[in-house]
C-alpha cells in the first residue's frame, strides 16, 4: 500500500504491518464497527419474531445503591460506535478491559477477563442458554434472529468480528490493507485455522462465501451486506483482495463480518442442507441439532484461537419469558439470550444472585408515521405532535426511568456521533396547539382539527399482546387527542410490514436509524428509497448527507456529516422519537470467565469459548 496523505489514507496506512492488538485499537479509531448487533437489539419492535412484551427491558440508571456487586451498568456515553472514546493515546499496549474483551485472539485464556479476578480458566461444563423460538437454521445466512445468531457464531468465524464492546476484532483476517482510493481491501488471513473436519481454511473459502452470498441467483437473505463489491480475488492461499465500486465506510462492518463457510462442504451439500449441517472454523462444532427443542455444540479442540474451555454450549428453546426466568432461578439454565419481562429483569438484578449486564440500546423507540398521509405531510403537524407528547413522563413513569429520552435518530450511547445540539421539543401542549393553529389546522365542530377538508384523524397500530408498549401508545393517543387530534388504536399482528407497505398510518416500533453497533449510517431507514423508511420520509438533503457519510471514511468528517443528519431529523421530525431503552443479560454465577462489563450484552455470547463452568 502506498503512502497516502489524505485523511482516509492516513488512517488506513496505520493498518499496514500492524499486529492484532494494534488492529483492534485502530478499528476503534476507524469507527470500524458493525451494525449487526445493535440491530439485534434494534428490530424488536418491528420484527415478526418478537415477544414484544420482552423487548423493552429497562435498566435502572438511578441505580439504588448498587443492588448487587455483580451488576454491570454500561454507561451510555461509552465507546459504543467504535469511536475514540478510549483515544488512541489512552489505549496503551497495556490491555484495557475494552481491548481485552476480544478474548485475546492469540491466547484465548478466559482468565484475562475473568470476573473472578485471577481464577485460572478451567476446562469443562456445558453452558445452557435459552432462546424464545426454534432455531430454524444454523446457516450464517439465517443468523438475523438473535436466537439463531447465538449458535451460528459458535460454529463460524468471520474476517473481522464485533466484540461486546462494539469493536471489530480481527478474526480470520490477521490484518488488512486498503488501497489509496479506498476501493480495494487486501485481507491477510490467519494460517493454520482448520474447519471442523480438519480441512484448512484458505482464501478460496472467503472467495467462495462472498461470491455465493452476493450472487443474485442464490437470493440470499444477507445479500445486501455484499452490495458494492465488484470482485473478490484469492491472490494466494492466505490473501484475499476485495474490490469495491466506490469507497464505502461501512464495508468492514457489513461484508467483513460475514461468517465464512467451507467451500468443500457448502458446495458439496448446498445451502439448504447446510442449514442443518453447518461447519466452520468456530470454537464449537455441531453435536446435536433439534430445531424446536435444543441445539448443542461441542468444543472443537483444534480451534485456531485455542481449544474452548467449555465442553459444550446448548441453547434450549423456552418460549415463555416467565418460564425462562424460572429456569434461571432454579439453575436449570445459565443465561437467556432473549429478554425476560421487565419486572423479572429488575427482580433478578436486585436479587444479587446473577451476574447481570445492563446495557443501553442503540435502537430507537419511536412512532413511525406515514409522511405521505395528508395530515403527516405537514411538518408543523409532526412538530406539534412532539410538543404534545411528554416523553420525560414516558421515560420516568412508564419505563421506570430505565431509558434515555431521544433527541434524534442516534442514541446518546454513541457519544462520538451523538449530536445534542439539535432542535428540541420540550413538552408544551400550548405550543403544540399554537403550532397547529399557525399552520391552519383549526378545530371543527367535533373538536377535531382540520385543514382543507383533511382531518387530524388517524390510526395507531399496536402489535396485539404488546403489553410493554401499549400503555405508551395509549398515553400518546390521549396526549394527541388533547390537542385536537382523533387517534384510535388498532391491534395488529403486524410488524414492520404494516408501515412498510403503507397500510398503517402510524405505529410504535423499536428500530435503529443509524448507530447499529456504532456504524452511524442510517441509509436503510432514512433514505427516500430505503426499504425500512417506515415513515416514507423523502428528503433530497437527507439522501445527499447519507451518501456522503458512506463515501467518507475519516471519522471526524463523518461526525460532521452525521451531526447534520441528526439536525435534519430533529428539524423535520419524520417520526416521533421517544427514547433509547436498556437491555439485560443474566448469567448464573457458576459461569466463569465473564468480563467485568460490556457494552453489548448480546455479543458476549460469541465469547462463550472463553467461559467455563464451575462445578457445584
Partner 1 sequence: MYRYVIQRLLQGIIVLFLVSIATFGILQAAPGNPVETMLGEGATQLTQEDYDRLLQKWGLDKPWYEQYFTWLGNFVTGDFGQSMVRAGVPVHEMVLEAAWPTIQLTSLSLAFAILVALPAGMIAAIRRYSIFDSGIMVWASAGIALPNFWVGLMLIILLALYLGWLPPSGGGDWKHYIMPVFVLAINETAVLARLMRGAMLEVLGQDYITTARAKGLREYVVIVRHAVRNALLPIVTVVGLRMAFLLSGTVVVESIFAWPGIGQLFITSVNRSDYQVVQAIVVLFTVLVIVANIVTDLTYAIIDPRIRLN
Enumerate residues 6+ apart whose C-beta is below 8 A from 320.
Answer: none
In the complex, least distance from residue 293 CB atom to partner 1, rounded to whole angstroms: 4
| Helix intervals (H) in 275-336 | 321-329
If one asks whether residue 266 binds partner 1 (CB under 8 A), the answer comes out as no
- Please give the Cα distance from 184 to 2 (Å, whole number): 12
DSSP 8-class letter at 259: B
DSSP 8-class letter at 262: P
479 vs 588 by CB, closer to partner 1: 588
Burial category of 194 from C-beta neighbours within 10 Å (exposed 0-12, middle 13-18, buried 19 and up):
middle
If one asks whether residue 443 binds partner 1 (CB under 8 A), the answer comes out as no
In the complex, least distance from residue 327 CB atom to partner 1, rounded to whole angstroms: 5
If one asks whether residue 161 binds partner 1 (CB under 8 A), the answer comes out as no
Determine which helix (DSSP H) or strand (DSSP E) holds 434, and give its type and residue range: helix 429-438
Q: What would the DSSP string read from start to end of 373-391?
A: STTTTSHHHHHHHHHHS-H
Q: 506 to 525, contacts with partner 1 by CB under 8 A?
A: 511-512, 516, 523-525
Stretch that binds partner 1, among 133-141, 198-206, 231-239, 380-388 (CB under 8 A): 133-141
If one asks whether residue 489 binds partner 1 (CB under 8 A), the answer comes out as no
> Are 54 and 321 spatial neighbours (Cβ–Cβ below 8 Å)?
yes
If one asks whether residue 531 binds partner 1 (CB under 8 A), the answer comes out as yes
Cell (9 digits) for 425: 421539543
> Are 161 and 290 spatial neighbours (Cβ–Cβ below 8 Å)?
no
If one asks whether residue 221 binds partner 1 (CB under 8 A), the answer comes out as yes
Phi-psi sector, 306: left (phi>0), alpha (psi -120 to 50), beta:
left
275 vs 366 by CB, closer to partner 1: 275
If one asks whether residue 284 binds partner 1 (CB under 8 A), the answer comes out as no
Q: 364 to 423, contacts with partner 1 by CB under 8 A?
A: none
| 3-class state of residue 49 by DSSP | coil
In the complex, least distance from residue 342 CB atom to partner 1, rounded to whole angstroms: 17
Cell (9 digits) for 56: 423493552
User: Which of 122, 224, 239, 459: binder of partner 1 (CB under 8 A)?
Assistant: 224
Enumerate residues 6+ apart whose C-beta is below 8 A from 270.
Answer: none
User: Which of 30, 47, 479, 591: binder of partner 1 (CB under 8 A)?
Assistant: 47
Enumerate residues 6+ apart whose C-beta is below 8 A from 247.
Answer: 8, 181, 182, 183, 551, 552, 553
Q: Residue holding cell 432462546?
A: 131
User: Which of 72, 532, 539, 566: binder of partner 1 (CB under 8 A)?
Assistant: 532
- Please give the Cα distance from 509 to 497 (Å, whole number): 11
In the complex, least distance from residue 86 CB atom to partner 1, rounded to whole angstroms: 26
User: Which of 116, 144, 401, 589: binder of partner 1 (CB under 8 A)?
Assistant: 144
Q: 304 to 343, contacts with partner 1 by CB under 8 A?
A: 316-320, 322-323, 326-327, 329-330, 332
> Are 232 and 206 spatial neighbours (Cβ–Cβ below 8 Å)?
yes
Q: 16 to 35, contacts with partner 1 by CB under 8 A?
A: 35
111 vs 532 by CB, closer to partner 1: 532
| Helix intervals (H) in 112-193 | 146-155
Burial category of 270 from C-beta neighbours within 10 Å (exposed 0-12, middle 13-18, buried 19 and up):
exposed
If one asks whether residue 268 binds partner 1 (CB under 8 A), the answer comes out as no
If one asks whether residue 548 binds partner 1 (CB under 8 A), the answer comes out as no
If one asks whether residue 563 binds partner 1 (CB under 8 A), the answer comes out as no
> Are 196 and 138 spatial neighbours (Cβ–Cβ below 8 Å)?
no
If one asks whether residue 227 binds partner 1 (CB under 8 A), the answer comes out as yes
In the complex, least distance from residue 216 CB atom to partner 1, rounded to whole angstroms: 6
Determine which helix (DSSP H) or strand (DSSP E) holds 515, and give its type and residue range: none
Q: 53 to 72, contacts with partner 1 by CB under 8 A?
A: none
> Considering only CA atoms, which of 196, 189, 190 is closest in space to residue 307?
196
If one asks whether residue 269 binds partner 1 (CB under 8 A), the answer comes out as no
Contact track, partner 1, 181-220, x by CB under 8 A: -----------------------------------x--x-
If one asks whether residue 495 binds partner 1 (CB under 8 A), the answer comes out as yes
User: Which of 193, 432, 494, 608: binder of partner 1 (CB under 8 A)?
Assistant: 494
Stretch that binds partner 1, among 81-89, 96-104, 196-204, 224-232 (CB under 8 A): 224-232
If one asks whether residue 145 binds partner 1 (CB under 8 A), the answer comes out as yes
User: Which of 21, 254, 579, 613: binder of partner 1 (CB under 8 A)?
Assistant: 254
In the complex, least distance from residue 596 CB atom to partner 1, rounded to whole angstroms: 26
Amino acid at each position: 500500500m502506498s503512502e497516502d496523505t489524505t485523511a482516509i489514507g492516513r488512517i488506513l496506512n496505520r493498518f499496514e504491518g500492524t499486529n492484532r492488538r494494534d488492529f483492534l485499537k485502530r478499528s476503534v479509531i476507524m469507527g470500524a464497527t458493525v451494525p449487526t448487533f445493535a440491530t439485534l437489539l434494534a428490530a424488536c419492535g418491528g420484527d415478526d419474531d418478537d415477544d414484544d412484551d420482552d423487548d423493552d427491558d429497562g435498566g435502572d440508571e438511578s441505580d439504588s445503591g448498587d443492588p448487587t456487586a455483580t451488576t454491570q451498568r454500561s454507561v451510555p456515553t461509552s465507546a459504543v460506535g467504535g469511536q475514540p472514546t478510549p483515544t488512541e493515546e489512552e489505549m496503551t499496549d497495556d490491555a484495557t478491559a475494552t481491548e481485552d474483551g476480544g478474548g485475546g485472539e492469540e491466547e484465548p485464556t478466559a482468565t484475562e477477563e475473568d470476573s473472578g479476578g485471577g481464577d485460572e480458566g478451567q476446562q469443562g461444563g456445558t453452558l445452557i442458554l435459552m432462546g424464545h423460538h426454534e432455531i430454524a437454521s444454523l446457516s450464517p445466512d439465517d443468523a438475523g434472529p438473535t436466537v439463531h445468531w447465538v449458535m451460528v457464531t459458535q460454529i463460524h468465524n468471520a474476517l473481522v468480528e464485533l466484540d461486546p464492546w462494539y469493536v471489530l476484532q480481527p478474526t480470520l483476517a490477521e490484518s488488512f490493507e486498503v488501497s489509496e482510493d479506498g476501493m480495494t481491501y487486501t485481507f491477510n488471513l490467519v494460517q493454520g485455522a482448520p474447519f471442523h473436519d480438519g480441512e484448512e481454511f484458505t482464501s478460496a473459502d472467503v472467495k467462495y462465501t462472498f461470491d455465493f452470498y452476493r450472487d443474485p441467483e442464490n437470493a440470499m437473505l444477507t445479500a445486501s451486506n455484499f452490495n458494492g463489491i465488484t470482485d473478490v480475488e484469492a491472490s494466494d492461499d492466505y490473501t484475499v483482495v476485495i474490490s469495491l465500486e466506490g469507497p464505502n465506510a461501512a464495508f468492514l462492518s457489513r461484508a467483513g463480518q460475514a461468517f465464512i463457510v467451507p467451500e468443500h462442504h457448502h458446495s458439496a451439500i448446498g445451502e439448504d442442507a447446510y442449514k442443518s449441517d453447518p461447519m466452520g472454523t468456530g470454537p464449537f462444532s455441531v453435536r446435536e441439532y433439534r430445531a424446536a427443542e435444543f441445539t448443542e455444540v461441542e468444543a472443537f479442540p483444534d480451534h485456531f484461537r485455542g481449544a474452548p474451555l467449555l465442553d459444550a454450549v446448548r441453547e434450549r428453546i423456552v418460549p415463555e419469558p416467565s418460564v425462562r426466568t424460572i429456569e434461571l432461578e432454579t439453575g436449570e439454565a445459565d443465561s437467556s439470550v432473549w429478554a425476560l419481562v421487565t419486572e423479572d429483569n429488575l427482580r433478578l438484578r436486585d436479587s444479587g444472585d446473577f451476574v447481570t449486564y445492563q446495557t443501553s440500546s442503540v435502537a430507537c423507540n419511536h412512532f413511525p408515521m406515514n409522511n405521505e398521509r395528508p395530515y403527516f405531510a405537514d411538518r408543523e403537524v409532526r412538530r406539534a405532535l412532539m410538543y404534545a407528547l411528554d416523553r420525560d413522563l414516558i421515560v420516568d413513569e412508564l419505563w421506570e426511568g430505565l431509558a434515555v429520552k431521544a433527541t434524534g435518530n442516534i442514541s446518546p450511547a454513541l457519544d462520538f456521533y451523538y449530536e445534542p445540539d439539535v432542535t428540541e421539543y420540550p413538552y408544551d401542549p400550548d405550543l403544540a396547539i399554537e403550532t397547529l393553529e399557525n399552520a391552519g389546522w383549526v378545530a371543527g365542530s367535533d373538536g377535531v382539527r382540520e385543514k382543507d377538508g383533511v382531518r387530524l384523524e388517524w390510526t395507531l397500530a399496536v402489535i396485539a399482546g404488546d403489553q410493554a408498549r401499549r400503555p405508551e401508545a395509549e398515553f400518546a393517543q390521549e396526549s394527541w387527542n388533547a390537542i385536537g387530534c382523533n387517534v384510535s388504536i388498532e391491534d395488529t399482528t403486524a410488524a414492520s410490514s404494516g408501515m412498510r407497505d403503507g397500510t398503517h398510518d402510524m405505529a410504535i416500533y423499536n428500530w435503529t436509524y443509524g448507530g447499529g453497533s456504532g456504524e452511524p449510517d442510517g441509509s436503510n431507514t432514512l433514505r427516500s428509497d430505503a426499504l425500512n423508511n417506515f415513515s416514507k420520509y423523502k428528503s433530497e438533503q437527507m439522501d445527499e448527507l447519507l451518501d456522503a457519510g458512506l463515501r467518507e471514511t475519516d471519522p471526524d468528517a463523518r461526525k460532521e456529516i452525521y451531526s447534520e443528519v441528526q439536525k435534519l431529523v430533529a428539524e423535520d421530525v419524520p417520526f416521533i422519537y421517544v427514547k433509547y431503552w436498556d437491555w439485560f443479560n443474566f448469567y448464573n454465577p457458576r459461569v466463569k470467565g465473564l468480563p467485568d462489563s460490556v457494552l453489548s450484552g448480546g455479543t458476549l455470547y460469541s465469547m462463550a469459548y472463553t467461559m467455563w463452568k464451575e462445578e457445584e
